[in-house]
Structure 1
Amino acid sequence: MAPTAILDWGHPLVAALVARVRRDAAARGAGSPREALQVAHGIIARGVRPVYSVEDRRRTSRTMRLGRGSCSQRMAALESVARAMDVPTRVRGLLVDGVFWYPRFPRFRPLVPEQVLLAWPEFLLQKEQEPAQEQGQEQSHAQGLEWVPIGELFRSPAERGGGSGGGAFTNRGGETLFDAVARTAVDWDGTQSCGMPGGAGCDLSAHVLVDLGYFGSRDALFARHGQTLCWPARRLSEPVLGRWSAGAGADAGPTSP
């Protein structure tokens, strides 16, 4: 897919990230696009420090140069890698209740927006093969493609039906939504078990205020609906929030570059 203003995968810094993903994926025997994206997720999670930046339209190359990024910016980096590897992407626009972010800012709740615009990525990947029901039963090679939300990137259909899922996502501490998807399915619809009994802890559907539908890119979503904060608010808050590490605590403030 073609680059966009945000998903500028043709930039040398992003191209270097893609090259690293290809090398690491080959070294680990990760042959499928889905496995390569899992490798990419790990590289981004380790290499891009999570902060509370409010610039959702920041270019991926800028995020890589800074070495830090918000949950949205790190997801954009993963989308950029996917597109560079010929995996189509789209985003689902969700207006999420600001209360969902209260645990991260307990002393600053009045400053948290009433609703936050979330661009939730999806990737067009090969459907997972279901195990043969009987010994010797052949499976079709024409499995087709399906849109896989980032919250299900690490879960095949069979795997999502059981297991502990690694615990609930609490939206506090150093773990962000971007990090959490590697250990537990994140569900905004209330239709998945999330790999936990009864879906406890990772069914986040109660926090969704409005489903804005699907967009061909996060650029298109933000062009139509804007960003969570207006430009003056972003200009005032970005110098602080853009350096404030996730999990640093409400009283800790920003960290040095």
Structure 2
Amino acid sequence: MTSRLLMPVRSRGAARPAAVEPAADPTPGSTRPTAVLDLAHPLTAAFTARVREEAAARGDRTDRERLRTAHRLLMAEVRPVYSVEDRRRVSRTLRLGRGSCSQRMAVLEAVARSLGTATRVRGLLVDGSFWYPRFPRLRPFVPAEVLLAWPEFRLDGGWVPITGLFDHAGPSGEGGFANTGAETLFEAVARTGVEWDAPAACDGVSGACDLSAHLLADLGRFGSRDELFARHGQTLCVPARTLAEPVLGRWGAGAA
């Protein structure tokens, strides 16, 4: 049982548009700063500079490799929590040293734009029950739908989703993503393929994790996460975010 009481009005009875193939979608993306992706802020700029230095030391030659380096740094230095403020500025996430999947993905987008790589996001409405394993005692308060901004990067002449930054070829003995414990979606994309459209079930053998059964709606692609949240709102309504953030914003992933 999930809850709709804590969600914005826009989510109730929202349309369920069909998925749009990335190759056919005209959304251009951008390298420009936004309110969330505050590229010029000293903390954001300093983190990007560190990524450049670390990538150079590792011998990275492509932006894809540099983004992998940025992802590793974020996993090591920004603690995963359940923050519900999806429109938080990247600089604040870096200052706090903690962030949700969405917030850490936003940092990765900011680094990409600073490197000259255009980004955009795919808006996904995911079944709230997908998060039950993380909150076994709070199921009645889990939102019925969770709005997820899934980043895409313009690399090698095409759009690559965040999971496509990593090489998942070959078998994976560790299986797919169970959405439990300390590993969140942000960490999982580096270990196993995460697919929202694949027809086959996640079998824990191929290394690809099919999450399509949890996808309620594909809202299409947006030039930035700012545009997505401006149009569709965030997962929780303002009063719910105000009450939940002081607790969930410090609650480490896996602690539930």
Equivalent in 230, 240, 244 of residue 233 of structure 1: 240
Please give the alpha-carbon distance, in whole angstroms, between the structure 2 residues aligned to 1:196 and 1:167. 4
Percent identical among aligned pairs is 68
Instruction: Note if 1:205 corresponds to 2:217.
Output: no
Aligned CA distance change for structure 1 residues 112 and 194 (closer, same or farther; 3 Å): closer
Structure 1 gaps, min length 5: 127-144, 250-257
| Secondary structure at the counterpart of residue 197 of structure 1 | coil
Equivalent in 135, 140, 144 of residue 105 of structure 1: 135
Is the 1:193–1:199 Cα contact (8 Å) retained in structure 2?
no
Per-residue CA shift, 1:5-62, capped at 9, x if unaligned? 0000110001111001000100111110000000000001111000000000000000
Deviation at 1:199, TM superposition (A): 6.3
Computed over aligned residues only, the root mean square deviation of the Cα atoms, in angstroms, reads 1.7
Instruction: Note if 1:177 corresponds to 2:185.
Output: yes
Instruction: Note if 1:80 corresponds to 2:107.
Output: no
Please give the alpha-carbon distance, in whole angstroms, between the structure 2 residues aligned to 1:193 and 1:85. 36
Deviation beyond 3 Å, 4+ runs, structure 1: 191-200
Please give the alpha-carbon distance, in whole angstroms, between the structure 2 residues aligned to 1:234 and 1:63. 16
Equivalent in 156, 160, 164 of residue 172 of structure 2: 164
Equivalent in 163, 180, 188 of residue 151 of structure 1: 163
Is the 1:165–1:185 Cα contact (8 Å) retained in structure 2?
no
1:219 maps to a residue whose letter is D
Aligned CA distance change for structure 1 residues 106 and 92 (closer, same or farther; 3 Å): same
| Secondary structure at the counterpart of residue 227 of structure 1 | coil
Please give the alpha-carbon distance, in whole angstroms, between the structure 2 residues aligned to 1:211 and 1:89. 18
> Which residue does the alignment assign to 2:63?
33
Paired residue total: 226
> Which residue does the alignment assign to 2:198?
190
2:139 maps to a residue whose letter is R
Aligned CA distance change for structure 1 residues 18 and 119 (closer, same or farther; 3 Å): same
Per-residue CA shift, 1:212-255, capped at 9, x if unaligned? 00000000000000000000000011000000000112xxxxxx
Equivalent in 13, 18, 22 of residue 43 of structure 2: 13
Normalising to structure 2: TM-score of the pair?
0.85
| Secondary structure at the counterpart of residue 193 of structure 2 | coil
Is the 2:193–2:207 Cα contact (8 Å) retained in structure 1?
no
Please give the alpha-carbon distance, in whole angstroms, between the structure 2 residues aligned to 1:233 and 1:180. 28
Please give the alpha-carbon distance, in whole angstroms, between the structure 1 residues aligned to 2:207 and 2:123. 22
Is the 2:127–2:215 Cα contact (8 Å) retained in structure 1?
yes
Per-residue CA shift, 1:139-171, capped at 9, x if unaligned? xxxxxx11110022102xxx53x3216422110
Structure 2 gaps, min length 5: 1-30
> Which residue does the alignment assign to 1:89?
119
> Which residue does the alignment assign to 2:53?
23
Please give the alpha-carbon distance, in whole angstroms, between the structure 2 residues aligned to 1:164 and 1:47. 26
| Secondary structure at the counterpart of residue 39 of structure 1 | helix
Please give the alpha-carbon distance, in whole angstroms, between the structure 2 residues aligned to 1:195 and 1:81. 33
Q: Considering only CA atoms, is the larger Rg found in Structure 1 or Structure 2?
A: 1
Deviation at 1:194, TM superposition (A): 7.7
